[in-house]
Amino acid sequence: MASITRFITTKLKLKVNEQKSAVARPWERKFLALVSREPGAETRIAPKAVLRFKEKVRELTRRTRGVSTERMAEDLARYLRGWIGYFGKCQTPSVLDDLEKWFRRRLRSASGSSGSGDRPFR
């Protein structure tokens, strides 16, 4: 770890965050909100990333936010495109299915509609 840190700071002129940096097997670490539990195992979305997703959707769908339904839909679409672009290829479709169900319930309660149409996670 010390030699890698020295190389990064001296040769590449980059800062190393000692709290986030470590030398370990991939299944022992979280990397960019993705987790692999053991060698050869599927890549999963880290639980904190799922919680952050839900917090952001709650923020965007608050009834007291004071924006039109169209604006809320635009903001949600932008956020979902980015999130799905990053996490959409994870190897745990059940997590995405559960999030989609939660998202649809949240959206129906925020907009007051029965909700039908395209599936956002597919």
Residue-wise pLDDT for 12-57, tens only, equals 898 888 877 777 665 566 655 666 555 666 677 888 888 999 999 9
Coil, helix or strand at residue 31: strand
CA dihedral 61, 63, 69, 72 (to 10 degrees): -30
CA 53 to chain centre: 6
Q: Is residue 95 part of a domain?
A: yes
Range of the domain at 99: 46-122
43 phi, psi to nearest 5 deg: -85, 130
Residue 89 pLDDT level (bands cut at 50, 70, 90):
confident
Q: Is residue 96 part of a domain?
A: yes
Contact 82, 26 (CB under 8 A): no
Q: Please report how many Cα atoms fall inside a 13 Å half-sphere around the Cα of residue 89, on the Cβ side.
A: 3
pTM (predicted TM-score): 0.62
Q: Is residue 11 part of a domain?
A: no
Tally of domains within the chain? 1
